[in-house]
C-alpha cells in the first residue's frame, strides 16, 4: 500500500513538473518573441516545412473526411427525407470542429515529431550545449522561428482543410445524393456565421502553441542517445494528441456557453 501511494505521489509530482517546465518554456518563448532580432530567413524556412510541405496530406485527410461525413450523415437523413441538410452539417462540422482538430492532429504527427527528433538529436549530441557556450539562447535560436511558423501556418492550413472538406461533401451531395447545385451552395453558406470561422481559427491557433511547446520541450529534455530520441518523439506526439483533444473539448464547451 505504501509503495502504491509512493508511486502515485511520484507520478503526480512528475506531472506538475512537466506542466511547469512546458509553461516556463512558453513564457520564455513569448519573451524572446518580442525581443529583436527575428531570424526571418529561418522563419520562412520553417513556414515552408510546416505549411507548404503539409498541403498534400492535409488535402487527402480533409477531402475524404468531407466525403465520408456527407455519406454517413446522408444515411440517416435520407430516412427522414432531410438529405438537403447534408450540406449544412458538413460545412458546420468542418469549420467548427473537424477542420481545426484533424489538421492539428496531422501537423502534430508530421511536424511535431520532426521538431522533437531534430531538437532531441541536437540535445544528445551536445549541439544545444554548444549554442549556450557561444552565448546563443536556444529558445531564441531554435524555438521562436518554429513557434511563429506554426502560429501562422496552422490557421492557414485549417482554412484550406475547411474548404476541401466542403468540396468533398459537395461532390457527394450533388453527384451522389442528387441535390441541386444551387440549393447545395445556399444550404452550405447560409448557416455559416462569422463566429463559426472565428472559433475554428482560434482553436487552430491554440493547437499550434500546444504542438510547438510540447514538441520543443520534449526535444530539450531528451537524453539517452538514439533510443532516447525515439522515446521523446513518441511521447511528444502522444502528449500533443491528448492536449489537442482536451483543449478542443474545453474550447467547445466555452463557445457553447458564450456563443450558443
For the chain, what are the domain ranges?
2-258
DSSP per-residue string spanning the chain: -HHHHHHHHHHHHHHHHHHHHHHHHHHHHHHHHTSSPP-HHHHHHHHHHHTGGGHHHHHHHHHHHHHHHHHHHHHHHGGGT-GGGHHHHHHHHIIIIIHHHHHHHHHIIIIIHHHHHHHHHHHHTTHHHHHHHTT--HIIIIIHHHHHHHHHHHHHHHHHHHHHHHHHHHHHHHHTS---HHHHHHHHHSS--HHHHHHHHHHHHHHHHHHHHHHHHHHHT--SHHHHHHHHHHHHHHHHHHHHHHHHHHHHHHHHHH--
* Mean pLDDT, rounded, for 212-223: 92
Q: Give 179 or 159, the one with higher predicted confidence.
A: 159
| Better pLDDT: 125 or 213 | 213
Q: Which of 36-40, 139-143, 200-204 has the lowest mean pLDDT?
A: 36-40
Amino acid at each position: 500500500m505504501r509503495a502504491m501511494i509512493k508511486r502515485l505521489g511520484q507520478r503526480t509530482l512528475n506531472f506538475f513538473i512537466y506542466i511547469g517546465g512546458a509553461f516556463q518554456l512558453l513564457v520564455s518563448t513569448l519573451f524572446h518573441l518580442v525581443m529583436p532580432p527575428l531570424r526571418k530567413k529561418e522563419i520562412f524556412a520553417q513556414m515552408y516545412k510546416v505549411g507548404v510541405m503539409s498541403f498534400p496530406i492535409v488535402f487527402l485527410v480533409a477531402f475524404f473526411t468531407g466525403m465520408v461525413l456527407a455519406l454517413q450523415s446522408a444515411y440517416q437523413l435520407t430516412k427522414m427525407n432531410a438529405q438537403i441538410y447534408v450540406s449544412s452539417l458538413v460545412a458546420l462540422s468542418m469549420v467548427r470542429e473537424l477542420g481545426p482538430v484533424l489538421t492539428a492532429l496531422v501537423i502534430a504527427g508530421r511536424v511535431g515529431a520532426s521538431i522533437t527528433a531534430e531538437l532531441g538529436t541536437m540535445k544528445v549530441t551536445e549541439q544545444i550545449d554548444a549554442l549556450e557556450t557561444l552565448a546563443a539562447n536556444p529558445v531564441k535560436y531554435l524555438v521562436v522561428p518554429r513557434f511563429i511558423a506554426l502560429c501562422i501556418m496552422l490557421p492557414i492550413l485549417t482554412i484550406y482543410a475547411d474548404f476541401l472538406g466542403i468540396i468533398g461533401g459537395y461532390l457527394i451531395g450533388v453527384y451522389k445524393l442528387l441535390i441541386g447545385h444551387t440549393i447545395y451552395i445556399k444550404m452550405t453558406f447560409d448557416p455559416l456565421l462569422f463566429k463559426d470561422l472565428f472559433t475554428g481559427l482560434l482553436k487552430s491557433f491554440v493547437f499550434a502553441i500546444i504542438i510547438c511547446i510540447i514538441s520543443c520541450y520534449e526535444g530539450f529534455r531528451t537524453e539517452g542517445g538514439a533510443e532516447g530520441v525515439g522515446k521523446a518523439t513518441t511521447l511528444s506526439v502522444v502528449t500533443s494528441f491528448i492536449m489537442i483533444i482536451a483543449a478542443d473539448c474545453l474550447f467547445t464547451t466555452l463557445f457553447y456557453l458564450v456563443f450558443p
